[in-house]
Amino acid sequence: MSYVGPDFDPPQPRRSPLRRPLTVTVAALVVGAVVGLGVWQAVGDSGDGSGTNSAAGRSPHPTPTTAPSATPSPSDDAKDADETKAASPTPSGSSASGPAASGPLKGKVVVIDPGHNPGNFQHTTEINRQVNIGTGMKECDTTGTSTNNGYTEAKFTLDVSRRVRTILEQQGATVKFTQDGARAWGPCIDERARIGNEAKADAVVSIHADGSAAGNRGFHVILPGSVHKGAADTRPIVASSRELGERIAGNFVRATGSAPSNYVGERTGLVTRQDLGGLNLSTVPKVFIECGNMRDTNDAALLTSGAWRQKAAQGISEGIVSFLRG
């Protein structure tokens, strides 16, 4: 997610008075990795691994050693092509899941929100239209960010989202998308929230990648703050969304070996915000996850690796499963 435009304004640094046990554990993993063998070895992961910090005067932290570099291999590219073909949207552009399989999540509904849309670049007039997010007006959507080599956030979010869908459907969940690459642009941020609400989703996860400065690394999960203004009232979902976010953060560390963000969230992997329409307008548990920083070459090497994206999908899915099973 590029912190420019709707739902993507720069977060302001804040110090949380409380740190839940899980987030302390996440931070402890990172610290332990510096003096030991690293989170990667601690969790037994031997694979290839894996916004913008606008706070004035805040210097980037050193690049964490717990998120090793990875260069996509030819086998990754071939795998990506096969999986993209297999996971491509239906001709009608339907975002609905197929019939749910039997499994522990049968009867549960999960909405996955792949951030942005590959076609937003060609529809700037439409995505610049203002929509009401309860606390004010924001643009309908943005184009998202990309790596320095041109791999777009919209392509990344669709790929990871489709991988998540496959995993969750195997667990018996019904999975719905806000968009599956078949529509020309959008949807707007208010419609994305409405899709989750109307589905009466048990959990909604919006998948993104950040567009921050080089040297800023790691993932973070964005939680809804308490908002009660206009059409927005997040009070009923704040606690459940935090639980969802904490479970995703913990499982994301274990699955990918990536460290929590070194530039927002005070290395807890969690950030609370009140300015995101996608969260403000939600009436069901919802979080955003920024899987890494596309503008940092080390993080970009992970984000462009098919093997790492599968790990990211696994971590997100395991967090959702853990939340839904209680």
Catalytic sites, residue numbers = 290
The whole-angstrom separation of Cα 181 and Cα 254 is 29
The whole-angstrom separation of Cα 251 and Cα 269 is 11
The whole-angstrom separation of Cα 7 and Cα 26 is 26
Burial of 83 (0-12, 13-18, 19+ CB in 10 A): middle
The whole-angstrom separation of Cα 255 and Cα 321 is 14
Element (H, E) at 232: strand 232-233
How many angstroms separate the first and last alpha carbons of the chain?
Answer: 29
User: 185-207 in b/e burial notation, b at 16+ Cβ within 10 A?
Assistant: bbbbbbbbbbbbeebebbbbbbb
The whole-angstrom separation of Cα 142 and Cα 208 is 12
Q: What is the DSSP letter of 259?
A: P
- Label the pairing between strands 137-139 and 270-273: unpaired
Question: Which residues, other chains included, contact 193 with Cβ-Cβ below 8 Å and sequence gap of 6+?
Answer: 277, 278, 279, 280, 281, 282, 286
The whole-angstrom separation of Cα 233 and Cα 280 is 7
Q: Please state, in angstroms and as integers, the Cα–Cα distance from residue 299 to each residue in 99, 144, 209, following that order.
A: 36, 16, 10
